[in-house]
Amino acid sequence: MTTPTAVTQPTWYGHIRDMFSTPDRQCMAAQGLDLASYETVMNHAGNIYQQVAAGNMPMGRPWAPDWVATFLNWMNAGYPKGVPASGALEFSARTLLTANVPASRLRKDITTLSDQELALLKHAFATIMAMDPSEPNSFFVQAGYHWFPAPNTYCMHHVPGYNPWHRAYLVSFENALRAVPGCENVTLPYWDLTAPFPEVLKSAPFDHYTLPHAVGPGYPQGYTTTRFPYEQIAQNLLDNDVTGDINRAMGKTDWEDFHGWWSGAAHNTIISAHDGGHNSIGTTMQAQEVAAFDPVFWFFHCNWDRLFWEWQKSMQATDLHGLLTTINEVSDSFSYQLFNDPALQALNPFTRNPPELDTLGVINSVTQLDVDYAPPAAAARVAFTVKTSRTLAASKAFTVAADRVNVRVSGINRLKIPGTFSVHLQKDGKTIATRALFQPVEVQTCANCVSNAMTQFDFELTLADVLGGPLSVWVEPANKDVIGERVPLKLMGDPVIEVHLLLQTE
């Protein structure tokens, strides 16, 4: 296919990435070039241009002159990333995996369920909660996959596999609900965290769960899940800026920026929102060991999967190629390998056991999992924002976003802090921003946590927020019985604070 004329201001996300077909990618992959990688295409753009301009490539389907000119215009413009094109793609060498048939599993905002839907959901929850805890579909077994009961503990947090793993986890739990006789069509609703705590989740069977067996230290048989008072939860969500983190995430175009924390990306987007949400709801939800035993966990996590799917759709990243085009292969090679290397594609325990899913099997929620999401009661679309960075390559032209600054607290050794904790940024002795990190108390027994021991926290603020007074930091553990009200900074490795103006290239 061709366009009538060459695009004068093409971008990676709007045009270039969709000029390569599956056969093109397979052909060049054999020669060591991955055409789904922005970095690869940019670094080899000269060679690619010579081949397509000469008509040598793609083999058997040479580009028309307008495509060749468009690619050259992209090179001359400095390889801008841009944003996905609205509406139909101008270039369609690849076929997007869009759903021609609606998904049969439509997950809804819990506040929009009909009386009949709600009654069926309550019945399904109550039934699996009452099951013998040895039954695979019991609430006890399903919740236990998140951490306790030991020794089969799984931690998929603060790593690229976070969203794929939890997507598979939700399918496993939803399948358990649907296995209840008469509940074959039940779907797991979500709680939109930008809205108040749903009233329905404050009553049985969603308000608590009591352990039928001990699961680990501190959680004996008879332990009942608890939460903070609901007024406190509302304030905590504000203090942790959960809505702000969500909005920042949904405006990002790159995988690492959407997730945050990993690969040097700012820790103030989806993973930060997730951690802040857990910490806000407490007290069970603060404890990674048993968080999934609080029934709210499932509606909470259903929302994160919804946001991940919404972001994928907005980025046209609903197939493997589209998703890979959003990942920085150079600075975030592990995320890239997560979908390309068979040894890293497993999402245990959900790969070897039902629902037998891996990273490739969960990319498209609709076509692969038969799952889609209805819009929230108060739908709000977040526009893409210009990508900002604390530092840039000297070869890049840039402007300074003078109205915003990034305050980063780095060098915190999480292994020195038992359990979930908060980092409070203060000015003149008053807290002006808070971030949280969700982790187990026995953090040194978590292989994933140990391999990602050093943490950072990012606060995106206005200049007025930080000028005119001394800044300081204090760290508050959720579990104060172990270490007290405050964690000594020296104990954590003597972290540092940096304040950077934000730079932008497009």
CB count in 10 Å sphere of residue 430? 9
Q: What percent of the chain lies above the pLDDT cut of 70?
A: 95
Tell me the pLDDT of the chain averaged across its residues.
Answer: 92
Helices (H), 315-461: 320-324, 333-340, 365-369, 447-451
Answer yes or no: are the C-beta atoms of 311 and 255 closer than 8 Å.
Answer: no
Tens digits of per-residue pLDDT, 41-94?
Answer: 999 999 999 999 999 888 888 999 999 999 999 999 999 999 998 644 445 565
Distance between CA atoms of residues 424 and 89, nearest Å: 44
Domains of the chain: 1-88 (no CATH), 105-373 (1.10.1280.10), 388-504 (2.60.310)
Per-residue confidence band for 150, with pLDDT thresholds at 50, 70 and 90: low
Tens digits of per-residue pLDDT, 87-116?
Answer: 444 455 655 545 567 999 999 999 999 999
More confident residue, 435 or 3: 435
Residue 453: which of 398, 495, 408 has the closest Cα? 495
Average pLDDT in the 212-219 region? 94
At 277 the pLDDT is 98
Residues 6+ apart with CB under 8 A from 293: 139, 143, 209, 211, 225, 284
Query: Hey, CA dihedral for 348, 352, 355, 360, is it positive or negative?
Result: positive
Q: Hey, what are 398's tokens?
A: 């840039």
Average pLDDT in the 272-292 region? 97
Cα 372 to chain centroid, rounded: 17
Distance between CA atoms of residues 293 and 144, nearest Å: 7
Angle formed at CA 16 by CA 13 and CA 19, multiple of 5 degrees: 125
At 101 the pLDDT is 79
More confident residue, 88 or 462: 462
At 88 the pLDDT is 42
Average pLDDT in the 270-281 region? 98
Cα 476 to chain centroid, rounded: 24
Tens digits of per-residue pLDDT, 240-253?
Answer: 999 999 999 999 99
Residues 6+ apart with CB under 8 A from 8: 73
Element (H, E) at 47: helix 45-53
At 254 the pLDDT is 95
- Residue 173, SS3? helix
Per-residue confidence band for 26, with pLDDT thresholds at 50, 70 and 90: confident
Per-residue confidence band for 494, with pLDDT thresholds at 50, 70 and 90: confident
Average pLDDT in the 263-289 region? 95
Cα 50 to chain centroid, rounded: 38
Tens digits of per-residue pLDDT, 374-416?
Answer: 999 987 777 788 788 888 777 777 888 878 899 999 999 999 9
Average pLDDT in the 414-440 region? 95
Tens digits of per-residue pLDDT, 293-333?
Answer: 999 999 999 999 999 999 999 999 999 999 999 999 988 99
Q: What percent of the chain lies above the pLDDT cut of 90?
A: 77
At 32 the pLDDT is 84
